[in-house]
Amino acid sequence: MKGLWAGTLGAAGLLTAGIAATLGHFYVRQPVVAAPPAVEVEITPERIARGEYLFRLADCDGCHSERDFGRFGGPVISTGRGKGVIFPPELGLPGRVVAPNITPDRETGIGSWTDGEKVRAIREGIGRDGRPLFPMMPYESYRHMSDEDVWSLVAYLDTLKPVKNALPRTRIDFPASMLMRAAPAPVRKVAAVDPRDRIRYGQYLATLGGCQGCHTPSEKGRPRPGMLFAGGQRFRLPFATVVSANITPDPATGIGGWTEQAFLDHFYQYSEYARNGPPKVGPDGFTLMPWLNLSQLPPEDLKAIYRYLRTLPPVHHPVEIHPVELQAD
């Protein structure tokens, strides 16, 4: 019996030591940081137009702008574009997460940043001060953004109206504060994807649009195995809860029964809202899906996204978008 206890205590000691070593590794580990690229973006009308398109596709407004969530799709309040947001605690984030002011204001925004610092923050997840950004900012997806596209996005950001809005810093709780140090990574040159390769270009657009991040359920910040794009991720805000849809090609619970035209129509039904303003909605009509932005994408790009989604493994996963029991909490 003494030997059994000794073996058990020994195993427990090894486990404790292993956990301590792992935590110690992340404690001393610093993010991999490269110097900002030495780039000065030439601002042209073509780049501004492409940058505005990317700003919409990536739904930068979704996190960085003041929005009216009393209306369908949460349209941006005109004076609050890019001013930054403190996320509500109802989201269950590990600490105080702040989407910073990304307007050209020199005191409270990014007006004094170099173009290289902006590119590094977008694609590598490193702030101007060298600290890692919380990966709710999807730089792990944006690292696939081509050089020309990230330059175009920077060009468009420079055209935003400066808004003076001082915000507190993000403060992440332990142990997420240590684990997130592994997320940033330097990015070398990234070539453009040929739009004629419809499936690959659709994957590129879906990646920049954050489709996987919202439509994949997660556990402890990581995607659930076998559930990519299968929906079920819950987003709880002070006034409503919404659940992401299954967009795999499963015919019963996903988009497997949708034709290409039906897919386009599902987006373009909101075009009038984007042009003339959306109606007021309650909790049962609340959505975080950026319909107002995506309803303005050209048909060729939505078709490319559709073709890419059709290549995914179908996952049978019924989802209730507006669960009644959660709206009453």
List, in order, residues 6 or more apart from 12 with CB less than 8 Å away: none
Contact yes or no for 317/296 (Cβ under 8 A): no
pLDDT the model gives residue 13: 46
Cα dihedral 33, 65, 45, 273, rounded to 10, equals: 140
Please tell me whether the overall predicted TM-score, pTM, comes out greater than 0.75 for this model: yes
**Gap between the Cα atoms of 248 and 312, Å rounded:** 6
Question: What are the domain boundaries of the chain?
Answer: 38-191, 193-329
pLDDT digits over 6-52, tens only? Answer: 343 344 344 344 444 444 544 556 789 999 999 999 999 999 999 99
pLDDT the model gives residue 328: 45
Counting Cα atoms < 13 Å in the Cβ hemisphere of 146 gives 15
pLDDT digits over 172-200, tens only? Answer: 999 999 999 999 999 999 999 999 999 99
What percent of the chain has a predicted confidence (pLDDT) above 90?
A: 85
Mean of the per-residue pLDDT values for the chain?
91
pLDDT digits over 57-93, tens only? Answer: 999 999 999 999 999 999 999 999 999 999 999 999 9
SS (H, E, C) the chain: CHHHHHHHHHHHHHHHHHHHHHHHHHHHCCCCCCCCCCCCCCCCHHHHHHHHHHHHHCCHHHHHCCECCCECCCCECHHHCCCCEECCHHHCCCEECEECCCCCCCCCCCCCCCHHHHHHHHHHCECCCCCECCCCCCHHHHCCCCHHHHHHHHHHHCCCCCCCCCCCCCEECCCHHHHHHHCCCCCCCCCCCCCCCHHHHHHHHHHHCCHHHHHCCEECCEECCCCCCCCCCEEEECCEEEECCCCCCCCCCCCCCCCHHHHHHHHHCCHHHHHHCCCECCHHHCCCCCHHHHCCCCHHHHHHHHHHHCCCCCCCCCCCCCCHHHHCC
